[in-house]
Amino acid sequence: MALSLPIRFGLRSKLLLLSTFLFSIPWFGYQYVWEMEKYLRYGQEQTLVGTARALATTLHDRPNLFNSHASFLPSVEQGRDLYGYQLKNPIRLDGQYRDWPNFTSRGHEYGQDHLLYQQKTSPSGEALTMAFKTTLGKYDKYLYLFFNVTDDKVVYRDKNMINLNRNDHLELAFVDQAGKFSRYLVSNKKPGWLDTYRITDLDNNIPVVTPQIQGQWLTTDQGYNIELRVPLSMVGDKIAFAVHDVDKEQGKVTHTVGSADPRFAKTLGTVLVPSPEIERIVRSMRYTNSSIWVVDQHHRVLATAGDIRQAAGVWHKKSAGSEDTSWWRGLEQKWLIPLYYMVLTRPPSDFIDQLYDASNLTGKHIVGALKGAATSQWRLTQDQQAVILSAAYPIFINNQVQGAVIVEETTNGIRTLRNRALEKLFSSILAIMLLGAVAFFLFASRISSRIRTLRNQAEQAIDEHGRIKQALPPSNTNDEIGDLSRSFTTAVNRLSQYNHYLENMSSRLSHELRTPIAVVRTSLENLSMQTMPESASAYIDRAQSGITRLNLILTNMSEATRIEQMLHTTDKMDFDFIQVLKGCVQGYQQIYPNISFDFTVSESLKTVNFLGSPEHIAQLLDKVVANAVEFTQDNQVKLAISEEKSQLVLTISNNGELLPQQMQERLFDSMVSVRSSKRQEQPHLGLGLYIARLICEFHQGKISASNHHEPDGVTVTISLPLSTKG
Amino acid sequence: MSKRIAIVEDEAAIRENYADVLRTQGYQVQTYENRETATAAFNLRLPHLVILDIGLEQEYDGGFTLCQWLRTLSKTLPIIFLTARDNDFDTVSGLRMGADDYLTKDISLPHLSARIAALFRRQDALDQPTQQEHMLVSGPLSIDSQRMTIAWQQQTVDLTVTEFWMVFALAKHPGHVKNRQQLMQDSKIYVDDSTITSHIKRIRKKFMRIDSEFDCIETVYGMGYRWNEPQQTGKEQTGAEES
């Protein structure tokens, strides 16, 4: 019924195989945690939208927050309407843009498109040889400006020159908070600290040195850099600047490129610097662990709070876990956590997100919010390290969308939470699986060892001849294997009883038959004493010879059982094995005068001290020799004794009929005879060799018969272990 | 006055056959089929010889019980066990209980009667003075064939009739090997080889109870047994050796 596999799977390996289903538990756990994360994300999204709405609510219908800025303009023009970045670090006025964050990407290029003036005298209209890149920033109470001017020829003011505009110079124009319009010129005689002059509203039209505007002029390979700062008090929300290019010493301005015409207040562009009022409101939200942006309708940032790198959401708990130094913690940190993070990913604390240029936030959610709908979106950071959740909520002023609140968080909090959950899950699953596997293994080992014990006991209980060697001890365990063991025990016991019955058959038979035979015999004998007619005595004689034969059979039968009984009570003694053997052979020579016995003792054996029963050894030899004599055809019986591996090996061989193949094993069993029927003048029950085997086994020896060839015959080999003291 | 023999045997056919034979030989025979009737009869009057079966009707060891009881009544009453049970254990038990012989039912009637006659003869001979012509003396061994007694170093060896005949057969021709067949013939029993072996063992033990250095009965392996004259050398035995 079982499949015959080339490899044998034991019970233990099968159970182990089944126990691998334990490994599906971590998969289910993992799926569950993923599901949980999904809901957490959904919750985070709701929270985030809520935060955005809350913040937007505080900003609704407060037009004064937006008034001073260009937020109400219907449109803003890139380059003319400027945005002052909120700088996070102080700027060193050294003419280098190293300390400006992202200057190359944030700086706005001014060139042909922003040409304000071109010298008309030039017949061909000389090509523009100057361009510049500018960025604005706000730090503390100053507005910082940086100009990176590319100019093929830098012309400085002659040191004797009074005119300020006969050289390369920068013009700035502001309308301050009070609405006062001012123009300034930066016109240097040499690279270095700026020479700044105010040129509007002057009594005598003489420019006034303006030390409030400070900065550095630096000549570069391409042209020059101007880095300067203006106190915010001098700057309102209108600004313009222009760079005038002069290509000849004391020449006229050939080109002017700028953000807007700086000459009149009304032509100035706007500048937006992040609003302190809004910032104050927003900053109150910074404890929400979110990154918050407030933008106007032109996508320009009015205020920010929080850093996206720290904005891990409300789920993020800063508890690093109590610093216990238990072995478990050590084991977890040293082995388990690294193992888990081969599968898990740790949320990055340092990722790069440069999607937003503060001057112009983009994104569907912002567009959506500025159209009046609260939206949220998920996106990856640019380096694909983190997932950012953004929620945008519109700010209404007089039912008009004037801006939007954008709240951003990373999912790091959730991921940390998820990782924490997975770590715990893995740890417990690992423990469960380990315990489970060990338990399974022990269980399987126990069962298989019990079954193996049972198998060994069953194998040992019955020998190859089907005889019961020993009783099977019943198991006390109250389970199926115990039941099996007990069934085996019962079966073996019954078999043993049956065997016992069979083994005692001959003795009981002989005992039971003896009485009726005695009846017949005594009757016959009585009869023979009577005077009988002559014809009757012949019948009496025949009857008596029949009885004699029956008696012989009974005697043979009882001999076997008597031997068994006697061997139980026989004490072993030391005797000279060779001596006994020689005596026996001499005896056989007398008993069987026409058989020649050839007895060979191997040279190493002079005397052999053997522990056993010499009478029985002689009897054993009697039986085997009688057998050999009976079957010999050339009237020769060879006996040989030698010592092999501390075993006495005695062989008795005769030439004659071969043993049938299947009889070689069974020859020494009770009541087995291979005599052909014509030899049966004498009753023979096949007990002789059985007795021989009993005696052999009493001496812990073995007896076997095998055929030999050329000439054909049978060799009986008796091997007896020599006692250690021999 | 003819001898009275009691047969206690539950098998009617055998009982009557034995009784018939013995009656023809001039004995008075009473038969009993179980222990109760036998006990009742023996309480009134003891016979001169008792033949007992061991298993009596329901009693598996009824014969043994009866034998023990009889021995308490008389120390000298000849008792023969005649039974189908031939194992060593029963034989030893029977002889220990004081039976004079233990025979199996294989024995032929002439042999049985010869044994009964021998027992009576021994019984009678014990009452008469020792007659020298029946004495066989060899070294420390003296055999009285009349009384069927054997003495070793002038101490009586307590042998059964069977054992006596075996020793007698061996000692009559010292140095000659008697094989088992001959021993069986001489002792008028018919048993298998191993029974002879155990008889010889018992005889040796009985001698060794008197003389722990007794080794006159030698096993000639493959042939049989031989009576060896005790060695004259070594320490002097009693003066009986020279007599």
The C-alpha angle A559, A561, A567, rounded to 5 degrees, equals: 95
- CATH number, residue A625: 3.30.565.10
**CATH classification at residue A247:** 2.60.40.1190
Q: Which residue of B has its CA nearest to A616?
A: B194
Name the residue facing B88 among A510, A566, A614 (closest C-beta): A566
Mean pLDDT for chain A overall? 80
Q: Tell me the pLDDT tens digit for each residue of A381-412.
A: 777 777 888 888 998 888 888 888 888 888 88
Domain range spanning residue A335? 27-66+277-315+326-419
What residues contact residue A595 under an 8 Å CB cut-off, 6+ apart? A588, A589, A629, A632, A635, A636, A637
Judged by CB atoms closer than 8 Å, whether chains meet at A621 and B110 is answered as no
Residues of A in contact with B84 (CB under 8 A): 511-512, 514-515, 518
Subunit contact B223:A590, Cβ cutoff 8 A: yes
Q: In which region does residue A586 sit, left (phi positive, over 0), alpha (psi from -120 to 50) or beta (all else)?
A: alpha
- Dist CA A295 CA A285 (whole Å): 16
Query: How close does chain B come to A522, measured CA to CA in Å?
Result: 6
Q: For residue A546, what are the CA distances in angstroms to A40, A99, A495, A671?
A: 108, 137, 36, 21
pLDDT digit string, tens, across residues B81-129: 988 887 778 888 888 888 888 888 878 888 888 888 888 888 888 777 7
Q: State the smallest CA–CA distance between residue B61 and chain A in angstroms.
A: 15
Tell me whether residues B87 and A587 touch, CB distance under 8 A: no
Tell me whether residues A583 and B193 touch, CB distance under 8 A. Answer: no
pLDDT at B68: 92
Confidence (pTM): 0.52
Mean of pLDDT values over A230-256: 85
Asked if B108 reaches chain A (Cβ–Cβ under 8 Å), the answer is yes
Q: What is the pLDDT of residues A95-146, one digit of tens each?
A: 888 888 777 777 888 888 888 887 776 555 667 788 888 888 888 888 889 9
- State whether A413 and A282 are in the same domain: yes
Taking contacts as CB-CB distances below 8 angstroms, the residues of chain A near B193 are 559, 619, 622
DSSP helix/strand/coil, A30 = helix
Interface test with A, best of B16, B194, B200, B203 (most A CBs within 10 A): B194
Interface of B with A in 38-67 (CB under 8 A): none
pLDDT (0 to 100) of residue A2: 47
The answer to whether the CB of A669 falls within 8 A of the CB of A685 is no
Amino acid at B34: N
Of A163, A166, A97, the closest CA to residue A134 belongs to A97
* Run of H or E residues at A485: helix A480-503
Q: Is the pLDDT higher at B189 or at A135?
A: A135
**Do the Cβ atoms of B223 and A621 come within 8 Å?**
no
The type of residue at A207 is P
Chain B: closest CA distance from residue A679 (Å): 22
The CATH number linked to A555 is: 1.10.287
Given a cut of 90, whether residue A502 has pLDDT beyond it is no
Distance, CA of A328 to CA of A537 (rounded, Å):
108
Return all residues near A230 (Cβ < 8 A) that are at least 6 apart.
A142, A143, A145, A172, A174, A212, A213
- The Cα A312–Cα A291 span in angstroms is 9
Residues A39 and A172 in one domain: no
* Interface check B12 vs A, CB under 8 A: no
**Which residues on A lie below 8 Å from B194 (Cβ)?**
559, 562-563, 566, 619
Q: Same structural domain for residues A46 and A153? A: no
Let me know if residue A677 belongs to a domain. Answer: yes
What DSSP character marks residue B54? S
Classify residue A423 by burial, with Cβ atoms within 10 Å: 0-12, 13-18, 19+: middle
Same domain for A400 and A288?
yes
Residue A448 lies in a domain: no
Residue A134 CA to residue A129 CA, distance in Å, equals 17
Structure tokens at B143: 């055999």
Give the distance from residue A642's alpha carbon to the nearest chain B alpha carbon, in angstroms: 20
User: Quick one: A222 exposed, middle or buried, by C-beta within 10 A (0-12, 13-18, 19+)?
Assistant: middle
How large is the greatest C-alpha to C-alpha distance in chain B, in angstroms? 58
Cα B145 to chain centroid distance, Å, stands at: 13
In A60-114, which residue ranges form alpha helices assigned H by DSSP?
64-67, 103-106
- Whether B234 has its CB under 8 Å from any CB of chain A: the answer is no
pLDDT for B40 equals: 92
Min Cα separation B223/chain A (Å): 5
Partner residues linked to A685 by β-bridges: none
Q: Are residues A97 and A243 in the same domain?
A: yes
Chain A residues close to B17, C-beta within 8 Å: 519, 522-523, 525-526
Measured at the CA of A52, the angle between CA A360 and CA A314, to 5 degrees, comes to: 115
Taking CA atoms, what residue in B is nearest to A515? B84
pLDDT of residue A679: 52
Q: How far apart are CA A292 and CA A407, in angstroms?
A: 4
Contact across the interface for B194 and A619, Cβ inside 8 Å: yes
Spatial CB neighbours of A204, under 8 Å, sequence gap ≥ 6: none
Please check whether residue A308 lies inside any domain of the structure.
Answer: yes
Q: How many CB pairs under 8 A join A and B?
A: 111
Q: Rounded mean pLDDT of A633-637?
A: 85
Q: In chain B, which residues have their Cβ closer than 8 Å to the Cβ of A555?
A: 106, 190-192
Measure the CA–CA gap between B5 and B82, rounded to whole angstroms. Answer: 13
* A425 is a domain residue: no
The two three-digit tokens of residue A235, written as one number: 């700057």
3-state SS of chain B: helix, strand, coil percent to 5? 45, 20, 35
Distance from CA of A594 to the nearest CA of B (A): 16
Query: At A601, which helix (H) or strand (E)?
Result: strand A596-601
Q: Is A120 in the same domain as A242?
A: yes
At A209, list the tokens.
Answer: 């040195």
Rounded alpha-carbon distances, angstroms, from residue B73 to A695, B35, B69, B81, B95? 44, 15, 7, 17, 17
User: What CATH code is carried by the domain that includes residue A347?
Assistant: 3.30.450.20
CB contact under 8 A, A562 and B88: yes
Q: What's the average model confidence in pLDDT over B26-43?
A: 91
Nearest to A289 by CA among A308, A268, A272, A266: A308
Instruction: Please give the Cα distance from A629 to A594 (Å, whole number).
Output: 10
Do A574 and A589 sit in the same domain of this protein? yes
Query: Among candidates A480, A482, A484, A481, which has minimal Cα distance to A492?
Result: A484
Q: Which residue of A has its CA nearest to B13?
A: A519
Contacts of B108 in chain A (CB under 8 A): 521, 525
End-of-domain residue from the set A499, A533, A564: A564
Q: Is A602 exposed, middle or buried (CB count within 10 Å of its CB: 0-12, 13-18, 19+)?
A: exposed
Strand A82-86 to strand A269-272: parallel, antiparallel, or no bridges (unpaired)? Answer: parallel
Interface with A, mutate which of B199, B221, B223 (most A CBs under 10 A): B221
What does the block give as tokens for A650?
A: 């005695």
pLDDT number for residue A359: 58
Q: Which residues of B touch A615 (CB under 8 A)?
A: 197, 219, 221
Cα–Cα dist A228/A223, whole Å: 17
Alpha helices in chain B (DSSP H): 12-24, 35-44, 62-73, 88-96, 109-127, 161-172, 180-186, 193-210
Q: Yes or no: say if B67 and B97 are a contact pair by the CB < 8 Å rule.
A: yes
- Same domain as A484, residue A526: yes
- With bands split at pLDDT 50, 70 and 90, how would you rate the model's confidence at B49? very high
Do residues A166 and A293 both lie within one domain?
no
* Burial label, A138 (beta-carbon count in 10 A; 0-12, 13-18, 19+): buried
Mutation test of the interface with chain A: which of B106, B180, B201, B205, choosing the one with the most A Cβ atoms within 10 A?
A: B106
B4-13 pLDDT, tens per residue?
999 999 888 8
DSSP state of A287: G
Residue B239's pLDDT band, with cuts at 50, 70 and 90, is very low
Q: Residue A60 domain-assigned?
A: yes
pLDDT at B236: 43
What pLDDT sits at residue A382? 72
Beta carbons within 10 angstroms of residue B120's beta carbon: 16
Which band of pLDDT confidence, cut at 50, 70 and 90, is reported for residue A93?
confident
Interchain contact B21–A (C-beta under 8 A): yes
A519 to chain B: which residues are within 8 Å by CB? 11, 13-14, 17
| pLDDT number for residue B69 | 92
A123 lies in the same domain as A266: yes
Determine the Cα angle at A66 with ends A65 and A71, to 5°: 170
**Structural domain contains residue A463:** no
Task: State the first-to-last Cα distance of chain B, in angstroms, to the nearest integer.
Answer: 39
| Residue A686 phi, psi dihedral angles, 5° rounding | 70, 35
B234 — pLDDT class (breaks 50, 70, 90): very low
Residue type, B206: K
Which residue, A564, A580, A615, sits at the end of a domain? A564
Q: Give the tens place of pLDDT for each residue, A288-333.
A: 677 888 888 777 777 777 777 776 666 555 544 555 667 777 777 7
Q: In total, how many domains does chain A have? A: 4
Element (H, E) at A431: helix A412-461
Instruction: Please indicate if any CB of chain A lies within 8 Å of the CB of B181.
Output: no
Min distance B211 CA to chain A CA atoms (Å): 20
Taking an 8 Å cut-off on Cβ atoms, the answer to whether B194 and A566 are in contact is yes
Residue A291 dihedral angles phi and psi, to the nearest 5°: -100, 125
Q: Does A231 lie in the same domain as A296?
A: no
* Whether A584 and B109 lie within 8 Å, measured CB to CB: no
Whether residue A21 is contained in a domain is answered as no
ipTM rounded to 2 decimals: 0.78
Are the Cβ atoms of A518 and B14 closer than 8 angstroms? yes
The structure tokens 């920033």 sit at A137
Query: Could you give the CA distance from residue B109 to residue A184 in angstroms, rounded to a whole number?
Result: 167
| pLDDT band, very low/low/confident/very high, at B51 (cuts 50, 70, 90) | very high
Domain boundary among A535, A564, A593: A564
DSSP states of A206-230 as a string? Answer: --EE-TTSEEEEEE-SSEEEEEEEE
Asked if the Cβ–Cβ distance from B24 to A529 is below 8 Å, we say yes
| Token representation of residue A403 | 């801006």
Residue at A72 is within a domain: no
Indicate the DSSP class of residue A464.
T
* Residue A592 and residue A558 share a domain: no
Verify whether the Cβ–Cβ distance A522 to B85 is below 8 Å: no
Mean pLDDT in residue range A618-645: 85
Q: What are the structure tokens assigned to A234, written together?
A: 């001098």
- Show the tokens assigned to A184: 């300034």
Q: Find, among A317, A344, A421, A428, the residue nearest to A33 by Cα.
A: A421
Angstrom distance (rounded) from CA A647 to CA A489: 35
What number is the average pLDDT over the span A43-67? 82
